[in-house]
Structure 1
């Protein structure tokens, strides 16, 4: 879940909004992390206990609701995956000087190999964990080099100079919106850790994933903040995050950004493609091979779109995150309904914690409020 969230769109959003809000962006990060925890605690628990994927849950409540959710998630997934493949190409370009289209093709082929070759596929989970750790360590190095105003960032975490609701909606959408909401939970189903007896393990895993994402967001924010606070304007840069890394550490910084971007892109291609395919294939052991083929087709289609377009514009990646924030509301409202009213049949008679339902209701109210207040602004991001 965490490595699926930390993709090229994640890097672009963080750099773009840090440049826009400065230290006040820290408050948006805090809000998004709190909402993310409330969302994932409920999503993972309901899916884990029921043993069903999100679209199956949706169809069991209202016939067709699961397929509507699949379509909406698919829209955001295609945009993000084009951006993921483009990001892999730009990352390899920054490190080795490869043509971005060639680098994007290599990124897609590596991801496809993971789903084609059984032995390599078994190592995918370990691979994305290593990629995530590498991204954080390299970004910490840049954060130290950029000398961010940490005291000001801490103050703005709780007493922000500016509050931007569209930014918060976009961050939530970029970390637990769209396909990312279900990436870890759907993967967990394949591990066999389902049913009421695994509720504690499931909850612990969901919070761990959000904390990892939050740490990466905070470290990247500090790295970019140091550059912005030094007087550099990233608004005109075609790649805001890459520009920040280069300013902070010169040519080495640009190379480091290339590695971070490639790691983020590859892990997100894997997570995005796998989760999107899981919305189209029933959760049955006999369908595992079919799901792999659908995943590969999704990567191929995304790669073809990338080769035609040449890139995924920064504005499109930011919009996809904001759009996913709106899509999140449908799936999360469904999850809370099942937790509150369908525990006897769908959740196998599990006694769902009341405090968790209250926490989820608070989060969904905030999300609906954010969506209402920022609806027009989300689509204005494309202008």
Structure 2
């Protein structure tokens, strides 16, 4: 009898420990989803774009920042809600809506993700250059090897979640310090955010593409599916996670813009080859340059991880064989991105800006499919009644992305020429 009680107590203790471990793993995955979206949205593309466009437009760039945040809110609230409630990834929803469209979505995201990932590898090389003075090709190779190592580890998911959280917090802290030191004209930025002197469609679309478009749209939501936090009963958890992710990205965007604006407003002309590093250097001297290297490398390596993971997540649901080899496919995706970076004779800054512009054009396709699910396919949402207010802002954001993408088409060719 005593043995039975002892066994029973041991089993209960084991069950509690297993439950606690499972809850901790789920919380870690949720936090990973939040920061995966955030770090993808504030990757090297956004840092490079923000620096280049702030130097070009000055405080007027605040309008593009504000618009990108508003569109990001409208897009991500809907994307997380539709994917989270349905429990299906975007490409699977696409094929449910119109057979074959999911494959088109996957092709567009993987293509855009590859272009963006080449830029992300380029971003790691710029970060390594600022940190250690390494040749860009050597720095990019080392960084890609680190990212591949993460996915070839036995606990790739946990490693990815922890990496993006730690580096995400580090990026925000270091950039906030530089923003304080640079002393930006906050009042002028607030005015220009509402009444800008200049409005540039290509700049706005490129920024949106670099922070919302392409694979970035689905990075956090697809990780949410992997964490098992799905279904109509999980709406509150899904909504809470998406709001936190949006707050993190919004803060980082504003802080980075103010850090660069403080330098530009002081009359400094930034170096063309690595303008962001130059801005941090002018703001905080040698320390600022090293801080920038850390910020950019952190942004880039987390974006390499996010782009590769999310792009491959668009492929693995089409075949059980692909699903079993997911981590190897992610490693291969990173390797192909590295090879392309080493072979292409384009400056890293150009690659990063071009990637944002292309992803800005991809955004309306997949997002349009998800909005159709929200509006017309309640059966795919488990009978969930989709909030009308959320649907309205989602449709308006989709129409705006169509308009911006059309107006920027003529300018994309100029980036490559």
* Pairing 1:369–2:399 present: no
Conserved 8 A contact 1:86-1:311: no
- The offset of 1:309, in angstroms, is 3.0
* Pairing 1:248–2:275 present: no
Q: 1:311 to 1:139 in 2, by over 3 A?
A: farther
Partner of residue 270, structure 1: 305
Partner of residue 39, structure 1: 75
Indicate which of 158, 166, 169 corresponds to 2:202. Answer: 166
* Pairing 1:146–2:182 present: yes
C-alpha distance in structure 2 between counterparts of 1:58 and 1:170, whole Å: 25
Matches within 5 A, 1:1-383: 1-119=37-155, 121-234=157-270, 237-282=272-317, 288-309=323-344, 312-343=347-378, 345-383=379-417
C-alpha distance in structure 2 between counterparts of 1:67 and 1:285, whole Å: 16
Larger Rg: 2
C-alpha distance in structure 2 between counterparts of 1:284 and 1:196, whole Å: 27
- The offset of 1:328, in angstroms, is 0.5
Q: 1:120 to 1:354 in 2, by over 3 A?
A: closer
Look up the SS of the partner of 2:315 in the other structure: coil
CA-based RMSD of the aligned residues comes to 1.8
Q: Which runs of 5+ in 2 are unaligned?
A: 1-36
C-alpha distance in structure 2 between counterparts of 1:120 and 1:110, whole Å: 12
For residues 36-82 of structure 1, the C-alpha deviation after alignment (integer angstroms, 9 at most, x for no partner) is: 11111111111111111111111111122111111222222112211
Conserved 8 A contact 1:306-1:312: no
Conserved 8 A contact 2:277-2:289: yes
- The offset of 1:222, in angstroms, is 0.8
C-alpha distance in structure 2 between counterparts of 1:355 and 1:378, whole Å: 34
Q: For this pair of structures, how many residues does the alignment match? A: 381
Q: 1:71 to 1:117 in 2, by over 3 A?
A: same
- The offset of 1:165, in angstroms, is 2.1
- The offset of 1:315, in angstroms, is 2.3
Q: Give the TM-score, by structure 2 length.
A: 0.87
C-alpha distance in structure 2 between counterparts of 1:64 and 1:49, whole Å: 22
C-alpha distance in structure 2 between counterparts of 1:314 and 1:97, whole Å: 17
Q: 1:120 to 1:366 in 2, by over 3 A?
A: closer
Conserved 8 A contact 1:86-1:310: no
C-alpha distance in structure 1 between counterparts of 2:245 and 2:324, whole Å: 27
C-alpha distance in structure 1 between counterparts of 2:185 and 2:138, whole Å: 39
Conserved 8 A contact 1:24-1:157: yes
- The offset of 1:93, in angstroms, is 2.5
Conserved 8 A contact 2:119-2:352: yes
Look up the SS of the partner of 2:381 in the other structure: coil
**The 10-residue stretch of structure 1 (331-340 or 369-378) with the greater mean CA deviation from structure 2:** 369-378
For residues 103-133 of structure 1, the C-alpha deviation after alignment (integer angstroms, 9 at most, x for no partner) is: 2122111111111112464232122111011
Look up the SS of the partner of 2:272 in the other structure: coil
- The offset of 1:145, in angstroms, is 1.7
Conserved 8 A contact 2:118-2:351: no
Conserved 8 A contact 1:82-1:311: no
